[in-house]
Copies of this chain bind each other. A is one copy, B any other.
């Protein structure tokens, strides 16, 4: 299918409609918002296997994976709907008046309100979960914001189908049409026009560093800068500690091979860098991982652009004089397939060659062999911000390496012990974000209900009579939400 890029005039109409709808949508109850999100999930389910078929054709992703991803997308919508209704995220605060204080203390109450229309740029590697009705969209709807999705050109038809499901849900819930819009744009112009539009109030993005950074810069160059949460680039370092390697090098290798190759390595949490101390244990790990990788099957990548990028970056990394190829899958990679590959280099090489710090998006992992713990810590210090970091370690390893743990905390958003970074659980405690360039703002997450807060801001009501306050802040607490009343978290009615 071919879709035409939205024109400036079309974008202007869409944004005006979103702005008008905002003032209606933001005032419907939390329950109504939640209901809307649940209906979207249902409508996506109603698209049935047709959706999986089209998505499979557009992304080359296997059916089982797409089926799981669709389930995850629906779970995001319904679990965020629950969180929306629960209302903890509103951060309702009440400080009651003390009229006889000098000067008198007035009644002040605060809660989060939505920022306004949010523009969402879907990811190529998750046609459902991080795209049209994905996490950013679900968070924005929960926060009370209309959403304008720019379809990813690599799965534009899938995006159209999901957009239609959202529009159906809007109709069923009798919401204004402007609560959601879907536009196409193969080039940069559409994105730029969307970000620079006066009625755009925030941006969600998942994709490449270059793409995300460009949106961030455009947003900050506006007369009125707006927040951009762009999840961009991460090589997700894995640290193999000595005792752990001594005990179970082969098991660690067996755990990691599928994490490196699953989904043809096209995950933002793919472990692209594995770091250990030069030792027999590390050599055993490298050999065992190499054997696993040789047996791996090359998979077809998402689209020609990503394939080309993988081929080039992999070749660039492997061609560095200080990098040696450890293993490549023995089954030959066909055109558009990513060849699972493991390479290796010394800690010194990593410290001196910035090419080795770059993400190779695909089934590629580089093992760094450090000569001692001092060099390994230097390697961490040289690293940029990451979505995740992983320790493969015994408790003794950790107790003996406090300085390393401290350094790793500086650079990551999620810190995994004895596991793999791939697989991002959808729950409140998830942090899917991290220091730049993993994301543009490490204070937020794009997975879990805390992601709503990217799209909301506090407003304080001072000296308002109870009956004119929003329900969330009324004395009687009619919504039954948790609120901080005079510094104490409680569901109680305001005692006054």
Residues of A within 8 A of B (CB): 23, 27, 82-83, 86, 88, 91, 93-95, 103, 105-106, 108-110, 113, 115-116, 216-217, 220, 224-225, 227, 384-385, 395, 398, 406, 409-410, 412-419, 423, 425, 427-431, 433, 435-437, 440-443, 445, 450, 453-454, 456-465, 467-468, 482, 484, 487, 489
A459 touches B415 (CB 8 A): yes
Q: When the two chains form their complex, are residues B468 and A429 in contact, meaning their CB atoms are under 8 A apart? A: no
A442 CB, nearest partner CB in chain B, Å: 4
Is A108 a contact of B430 with CB atoms below 8 Å? yes
Q: Which among A224, A425, A454 has the highest number of chain B CB atoms within 10 Å?
A: A425
Query: Which of B95, B406, B419, B458 meets A23, CB within 8 Å?
Result: B406
Give the one of A418, A443, A484 with max B CB within 10 A. Answer: A443
How many identical subunits does the complex contain? 2
Q: How far is the CB of A436 from chain B (nearest CB, A)?
A: 5
Report yes or no: A88 in contact with B462, Cβ–Cβ below 8 A.
Answer: no
Residues of B within 8 A of A108 (CB): 425, 427, 429-430
Cβ A458 vs Cβ B413 within 8 A: yes
Can you list the 3 inter-chain pairs with the closest CB atoms, starting with the nearest? A431-B460, A93-B429, A442-B457
Give which listed residue, B414, B415, B417, B460, contacts A414 with CB less than 8 A.
Answer: B460
Nearest neighbor of A220 in chain B, beta-carbon distance: B220
**Residues of B contacting A86 in the complex (Cβ-Cβ under 8 angstroms):** 487
For residue A483, which residue of chain B has the nearest CB?
Answer: B429
User: Assuming the A-B contacts A86-B487, A88-B484, are A464 and B95 also in contact, with contact meaning beta carbons closer than 8 angstroms in the complex?
Assistant: no
B224 touches A216 (CB 8 A): no
Could you tell me the distance in whole angstroms from the C-beta of A435 to the nearest C-beta in chain B? 8
